[in-house]
Amino acid sequence: MGSQGFSEVIYTTDSLRDAYRSLVLDAKAMHGNNPYNGTISTTEGVQLHNTNGPVLFQEAQRIADQRMEHLSKWENAEAIQLIDESKFPVRKQTKKVKITAQEIKDNGGDPTQALLAVARANASLRANEVVTSAEIAYEPGTSTRSITPKYRVVTKATEGKTETRYLITNSHTTTPWDKGFKTMAEARKRMVEIASVAPISTWSLPAETEYSITSMTKREGGLPLVRTVREIVSIEATVDFKFMKVTPNAPAAGFYIYGWAAS
């Protein structure tokens, strides 16, 4: 039997124990008492993870993702206290964000995710504000995202001796270069052998099957002769931000509960 991760969100003024019990009862009502039903009901209990007070849902998700490797099935789930986000004002802002190729590398390598990470890190926050979302905007009235990459194209010949291989081709396949023949004579001999013994389907009997020989030149070992690489130099995008002004020491309004379920 295996395990699978789960998460549950419950907004309540009840204690953590009561909130957990409620979620377990709901899970059993929907999935039964099977100890491998893949839900919170397969956990031993629940314990509170200390975050120095309640946090936003997005922050709870981030913490939970990091904590999952420390948890196991059949053990306690963990819980993080949540703030009731509906009680705090939201401010929107749209601004241009630009990042370089180095910033993309420094933030995981994915251009879009790197841009949003930099945008969040450099957001214009006011007192007690946090970023609740940062998304690339769309061009007005379209489904096209407002993002402009700048590229550099680099072309460079590879080094080493060249080698030509002769490849046999028919309507279905072509010999891979690394299995190609070093001389035309070898390729012609093998092509005749293939044509002579090729299996014929009893469902389809073509009047004629054609084979041909082509050649391909690469570096010894199979490297291409020339490489052209298109590299991103920078990206500029319009980003839509949402900020939330959170009152310091805001009270807890629920729990984000997560862990591993037996399945």
0.75 surpassed by pTM = no
82 with 113, same domain? no
Per-residue pLDDT tens digits for 70-80: 999 999 999 99
- Using DSSP, how many helices (H) and how many strands (E) does the chain show? 5, 10
> Whole domain around residue 29: which residue ranges?
3-86+249-262
Are 213 and 188 contacting, i.e. CB atoms less than 8 angstroms apart? Answer: yes
Amino acid of residue 81 = Q
Residue 155 in any domain: the answer is: no
Residues 220-236, mean pLDDT to the nearest whole number? 96
In-domain check, residue 157: no
- Asked if residue 172 is part of any domain, the answer here is yes
Are 82 and 126 in the same domain?
no
Radius of gyration of the CA atoms of the chain, in A: 30
**Same domain, yes or no, for 7 and 82?**
yes
Domain assignment present for 189: yes
Examine the pLDDT at 83 and tell me if it is beyond 90.
yes
Query: What pLDDT, on a 0 to 100 scale, did the predictor assign at position 209?
Result: 86
Are 49 and 117 found together in one domain?
no
d(CA 70, CA 68): 5
133-172 per-position pLDDT tens digit: 999 999 999 999 999 999 999 999 999 999 999 999 998 8
Q: Does the structure show a pLDDT above 90 at 204?
A: no
Is 61 inside a domain boundary?
Answer: yes
80 and 97 in a single domain? The answer is no
Q: Which of 73, 96, 84 is nearest to 2 (CA)?
A: 73
